């Protein structure tokens, strides 16, 4: 035996309805979308580029990175700035050709070839601390190393992978955790 109820038999307390302020509540619960900081002037990179000339061709455009990853990185950068370590984007997206060129250098910059790096998919960035308007990338600078250690702590808290934990140390590098294959499959 089956019972069928029409709308006539529903009691008002069980009828789903929109709350008067539900759209305002939804907006409040959404995370704020952060905007990338304005780019630093070229002179801020002068010392960094003289130390690492490869940075002269680095792509510092936030637009080529995965949007959700950008938001994670910007929140991480805000936490670092609150700790006294303002950071800047040294490099984001890399073309496969640039990746191959970096992998082929005599001085070890990366082991990943074109197509193997999360940089090609907008899921990795290289950051550097900024002191007195200048980018500081020297690992011999105690303040910069404190900034990189703080980057590692904040990356772990954000469930990101930090290059400072690798056998080949890449202190300014952070990336989305997980295998590249899994990350690309989940995007589809």
Residue 13's pLDDT is what?
58
Residue 184's pLDDT is what?
86
Residue 11's pLDDT is what?
56
Residue 32's pLDDT is what?
80
Token pair 């759209």 is at which residue?
23
Pairing of strands 134-135, 124-131: antiparallel
The answer to the question of residue 29 being in a domain is no
The answer to the question of residue 146 being in a domain is yes
Residue 138's pLDDT is what?
87
Q: Are 36 and 92 in contact (CB under 8 A)?
A: no
Q: The domain that contains 68 carries what CATH number? A: 3.30.1380.10
Q: Which pLDDT tens digits describe the chain residue by residue (188 residues)? A: 555 555 555 555 555 555 555 656 665 566 689 999 999 999 999 999 988 888 888 999 999 999 999 999 999 999 999 999 999 999 999 999 988 888 887 666 777 888 889 999 999 999 999 999 999 998 899 999 999 999 999 999 999 999 999 988 999 999 999 998 998 888 77
Residue 78's pLDDT is what?
97
Residue 163: CB partners within 8 Å, gap ≥ 6? 169, 170, 171, 172, 173, 174, 175
**114: domain range?**
34-187
The answer to the question of residue 63 being in a domain is yes
The answer to the question of residue 27 being in a domain is no
The answer to the question of residue 81 being in a domain is yes
Residue 113's pLDDT is what?
85
Alpha carbon distances (Å) from 80 to 66, 74, 113, 149: 21, 10, 30, 10
Residue 58's pLDDT is what?
92
Residue 166's pLDDT is what?
92
The answer to the question of residue 87 being in a domain is yes
Q: According to the 3-state scheme, what is the secondary structure of 127-164? A: EEEEECCEECCCCCCHHHHHHHHHHHHHHHHCCEEEHH
Strand partners, 122: none
The answer to the question of residue 9 being in a domain is no
């Amino acid at each position: 035996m089956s019972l069928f109820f029409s709308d006539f038999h529903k009691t008002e307390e069980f009828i789903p309805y929109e709350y008067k302020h539900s759209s305002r509540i939804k907006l409040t619960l959404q995370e704020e979308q952060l905007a990338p900081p304005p780019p630093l002037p070229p002179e801020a990179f002068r010392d960094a580029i003289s130390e690492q000339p490869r940075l002269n061709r680095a792509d510092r455009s936030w637009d080529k990175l995965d949007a959700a990853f950008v938001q994670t990185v910007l929140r991480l950068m805000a936490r670092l700035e609150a700790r006294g370590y303002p950071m800047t984007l040294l490099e984001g997206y890399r073309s496969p050709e640039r990746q191959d060129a970096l992998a082929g250098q005599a001085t070890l910059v990366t082991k990943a070839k074109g197509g193997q790096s999360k940089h090609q998919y907008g899921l990795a960035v290289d950051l550097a601390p900024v002191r007195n308007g200048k980018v500081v990338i020297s690992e011999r600078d105690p303040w910069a190393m404190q900034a990189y250690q703080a980057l590692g702590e904040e990356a772990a808290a954000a469930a990101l992978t930090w290059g400072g934990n690798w056998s080949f140390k890449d202190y300014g590098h952070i990336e989305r955790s997980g295998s590249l294959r899994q990350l690309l499959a989940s995007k589809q």
